Structure 1
Amino acid sequence: MIVVDQALPYFQLIVYKFNDCADDPSFKIQVKNPLSNNSGIVIYFTAQYPFTVGVIDDLKKIAEKRGIPFHAYQLMTKDEAQNAPIIWTTFGLFYNGIFMTHEIPSANKFEKILNTL
């Protein structure tokens, strides 16, 4: 097995090649570059976990209370997920275009994230 590609902050694409002549797979370019033209909190998510949609509403209220712009985009199709700027399409949180976490935070954990900004 070898690492054939990486993306910040800690994602690695590892393969075990059965055919040495085959091209190496790679992450799409959009997951390797920070988001542009996005200020504040930007979240990409799927409804893979049923409670995620409710959590998004809670996070939006917290961000708005602090005056932080908030945008959430639910990925609904295979194409949207494959072309999203995140590797882990279940959830991805960015602040000013920088990836912060793929873990779905509770309201308290989100407050802690905002306190570090």
Structure 2
Amino acid sequence: MTTPPEICDTGCGLNATLRIISGKWKPLILFFLRDGPKRYGELRRLVEGVSDKVLIQQLKDLEADRVLARNDYKEVPPRVDYALTPLGRSLAEAIIPLCTWGTEHAVEMASIFAARDALP
């Protein structure tokens, strides 16, 4: 299988990955869905600070990119949940080392963020 040139020319697989997870909230959505399907309200609580409008758009984007599946149970009251597809599960697992790195460097990052926030 040949890698499409538009992926390889600008960072190889990293470019493709960043196109999928671009946006402030998408990596967190994938991270929280790795443990299993979640309803919208549960995701809204887990992804602290995201607006409804942005969360809905990011969920639609991830669904369009086939890393997330939206399951509508066609019930009254409405019941919908979101789950990772096999492609999405592999992407969520790839995010775990970034989480580990962030945890291991949390103190240093807090100092860096504080200094950056203090700049005029």
Asked if TM exceeds 0.5, the reply is no
* Structure of higher RCO (CA pairs closer than 8 Å, 6+ residues apart): 1
Structure with the bigger percentage of helix = 2
Q: TM-score, normalised by structure 2?
A: 0.28
Structure with the bigger percentage of strand = 1
Q: TM-score, normalised by structure 1?
A: 0.28
Is the radius of gyration larger for structure 1 or structure 2? 2
